[in-house]
Amino acid sequence: MRALVTGCRGQLGRALRARIEQGRCPDEWLGAEVDWVDLPDLDISDARAVEAWFGVHGYDAVINCAAMTNVDGCETDFAAAFAANALGPMNLARACAACGATLVHVSTDYVFPGNEEGARTEADVPAPISAYGRSKLAGEGLALAANPRTHVARTAWLYGDGRNFVATMLRLGATHDQVTVVDDQLGNPTSADDLAGELLRIALTDLYGIWHCTNEGTCSWADFAEEAFRVAGVPCEVRRCTSEQWKQINPASADRPHFSSLENARLKETIGNTMRPWQEALRDYLSNRTPEEA
């Protein structure tokens, strides 16, 4: 296996590297020769740079973890968001098509508007309400159109080795008696390690197209914070607020979907869904955090 992983310094990229290097991966990935790249090694939004890179490297699979994920920042700089989240995947897909490689592109639950209760499946129609969501939806379409061997894996509320919601809550909980967290946005907290394992499986199938890939179960951000505090033994109270109240406190924040929970329907119907309940994955994450992370 010859593979490229972009965005390798992010929490998902690091999780993929740990999976492969520790042998916690499908047999086909054991001993894989992987190029791990991030900025400034390769700017995927630069078509010429991507073409030049692929001109001297050949791959069987490419997993794209590179993205502009600052949801509020995407509102103020849509050009940068579109370059990273739409043009970048398109450039990679074109390069993959030229060399016959499979592309696994990671997308988001924020492609949905969140105005309907319940979990969204791959068959539901996206209609993003934020610049981030619009840029990611554009990236999905451009990648799928540019390479028939493309998988789009939508995930949500990701946490792992790096900056994330859980780490932020625990940092605040260590110095505050109370934190305010939104309670009317519902989704799926997802372990980067669990997602990495599933992406490696998806990369091996020829059932190309869109996948939903999150840990099982739905909660609010406030529920998520409370569970993190409970498991970590942090005596911090969660003060619940609405999205409207949060917007009044943080007027520059982008709109988020109220109901962005995803259903791993296609996994269950095809190669099997190995994603665990979110509470179990969170417990593992908290028990395995290093002193540096804590």
Determine contact, residues 111/156, Cβ cutoff 8 Å: no
Residue whose token pair is 């492609």: 111
C-alpha span between 58 and 54 (Å, rounded)? 6
Eight-state DSSP code of residue 86? I
Eight-state DSSP code of residue 171? H
- 110 as an active site residue: the answer is no
**Whole-angstrom Cα Rg for the chain:** 19
C-alpha span between 291 and 294 (Å, rounded)? 5
SS (H, E, C) 182-228: ECCCEECCEEHHHHHHHHHHHCCCCCCEEEECCCECCEEHHHHHHHH
C-alpha span between 153 and 205 (Å, rounded)? 13
Catalytic option among 110, 132, 159, 285: 132
Helices (H) and strands (E) counted in the chain, each on its own, are 12, 12
Determine contact, residues 97/150, Cβ cutoff 8 Å: no
C-alpha span between 239 and 184 (Å, rounded)? 13
User: Of the candidates 130, 26, 37, which has an alpha carbon nearest to the alpha carbon of residue 82?
Assistant: 130
Residues acting as catalytic residues = 132
